[in-house]
């Protein structure tokens, strides 16, 4: 008895069917070699498609990176450009004021009436200013025709209910130490020392004042400088004074210049009556470096580093002493001579910076 097993031929599928069909149409004969070639053609097409997609993704990523870089450069350039282009006055909100009282603007001036007029008008409009005290650093006193309009301007520009006091301080001698003489009848503990050609926007100034309130014994400001040990010879240490570019490059600072800085009013008395007289004599003789002397005084009293506040400042006057030749050498000499007179190096380096996070998304 025989058994018949039926086998159902379902026919070729996939690449085999394609090869047989192609052979039939062309009158040819099907072969496994042709089958492999057909299959390889299918997979080769898929590989090319995948490679194409990968190249498109890589190109998209590259374009995204380039766009991010270009955007970052534009943001950085525009932030720097505003400083180069000059100061644009900001109109403060009259309803806002500094927390916990205000501060006195101690302004040092030197034969720059136009800059003085603009600076007084600006700082009088800041809500936290309780007084403006102008130190007239010139042997010839200002005329009444100059003083009276400035006083009227201080009152008219102020948006506070209580108008700021406005005073001129004049001395018979032309001495840079007069910049830090004690002031009678101050209503505030905070002193904002500033040159007549430096403008700090009111909102930035208000933030710096709040930073100072958190550390009232130290100096808080906008113009950092640094120092480093240069060499030691015969047991004597020599230091180098570094300007802004050194701070920018190293990311470290150790002193602030009081051309735009807050400090407690007690330091005016310490500078005039307690600091070694040899340092004040040095400033009088050299007609330079009273700002370094004040920074060393604060550091010597606190044993702490100052606090640099990130914020734009604008110089509205012509270039001053700091742009003269040999300035760096003179500052180096001042620093080392003052350290010798103090008897030690009081400066404390730091890389801490106070930033107002409400207005900064990219530090």
Per the structure block, which two tokens stand in for 303?
A: 């044993």
Tokens 């009276």 locate to 148
DSSP state of 94: T
Q: Which region holds residue 107: left if phi is over 0, alpha if psi is between -120 and 50, else beta?
A: beta
Helices (H), the chain: 14-25, 32-85, 113-124, 144-157, 202-214, 244-250, 266-269, 277-286, 290-302, 327-342
**For residues 90 and 148, what is the distance between their CA atoms, to the nearest angstrom?**
25
- CA dihedral 65→67→69→73, nearest 10 degrees, is 180
Report the alpha-carbon distance of residue 208 to residue 15 in Å, rounded. Answer: 77
Alpha carbon 224 to chain centroid, angstroms: 9
Is 291 an annotated catalytic residue?
yes
CB distance 175 to 289 below 8 Å: no
- H and E: helices and strands count for the chain: 10, 13
**Which among 198, 142, 196 is positioned nearest to 315, based on CA atoms?**
198
Distance CA(361)–CA(232), nearest Å, equals 44
Annotated catalytic residue, options 138, 174, 291, 337? 291
Specify the DSSP class assigned to residue 197: T
Alpha carbons 81 and 209: distance in angstroms, whole number: 26
Token look-up 């800041």 returns 126
Q: What does the CA dihedral 173, 175, 179, 183 come to, rounded to 10 degrees? A: -40
Tokens of 265: 């009013």
Q: Which two structure tokens, joined as six digits, stand for 203?
A: 């909102």
Token duo for residue 313: 């400042």
**105 pairs with which residues across the strands?**
132, 192
Positions marked active-site: 291
């Amino acid at each position: 008895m025989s058994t018949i097993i039926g086998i159902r031929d379902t026919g070729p599928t996939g690449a085999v069917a394609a090869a047989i069909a192609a052979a039939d149409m062309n009158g040819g004969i099907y072969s496994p070699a042709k089958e492999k070639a057909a299959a390889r053609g299918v997979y080769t097409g898929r590989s090319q498609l995948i490679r194409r997609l990968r190249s498109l993704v890589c190109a998209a990523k590259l374009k995204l990176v380039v766009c991010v870089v270009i955007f970052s450069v534009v943001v950085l350039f525009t932030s720097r450009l505003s400083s180069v282009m000059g100061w644009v006055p900001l109109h403060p909100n009259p309803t806002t004021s500094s927390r916990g009282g205000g501060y006195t603007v101690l302004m040092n001036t030197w034969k720059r009436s136009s800059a003085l007029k603009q600076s007084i008008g600006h700082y009088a409009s800041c809500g936290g200013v309780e007084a403006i005290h102008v130190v007239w650093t010139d042997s010839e006193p200002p005329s009444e025709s100059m003083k009276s309009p400035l006083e009227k301007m201080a009152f008219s520009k102020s948006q506070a209910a209580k108008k700021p006091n406005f005073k001129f301080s004049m001395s018979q001698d032309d001495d840079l130490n007069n910049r830090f003489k004690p002031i009678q009848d101050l209503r505030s503990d905070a002193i904002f020392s500033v040159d007549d050609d430096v403008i700090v926007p009111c909102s930035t100034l208000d933030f710096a004042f709040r930073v100072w309130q958190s550390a009232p014994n130290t100096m808080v400001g906008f113009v950092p400088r640094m120092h480093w040990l240069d060499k030691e010879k015969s047991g004597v240490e020599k230091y180098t004074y570094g300007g802004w570019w050194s701070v920018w490059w190293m990311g470290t600072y150790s002193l602030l210049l009081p051309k735009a800085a807050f400090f407690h009013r007690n330091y005016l008395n310490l500078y005039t009556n307690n600091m070694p007289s040899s340092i004040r004599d040095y400033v009088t003789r050299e007609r330079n470096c009273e700002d370094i002397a004040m920074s060393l005084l604060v550091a010597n009293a606190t044993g702490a580093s100052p606090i640099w506040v990130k914020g734009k400042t604008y110089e509205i006057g012509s270039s001053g002493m700091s742009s003269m030749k040999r300035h760096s050498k003179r500052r180096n000499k001042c620093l080392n001579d003052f350290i010798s007179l103090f008897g030690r190096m009081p400066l404390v380096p730091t890389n801490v910076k106070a930033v107002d996070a409400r207005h900064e998304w990219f530090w």
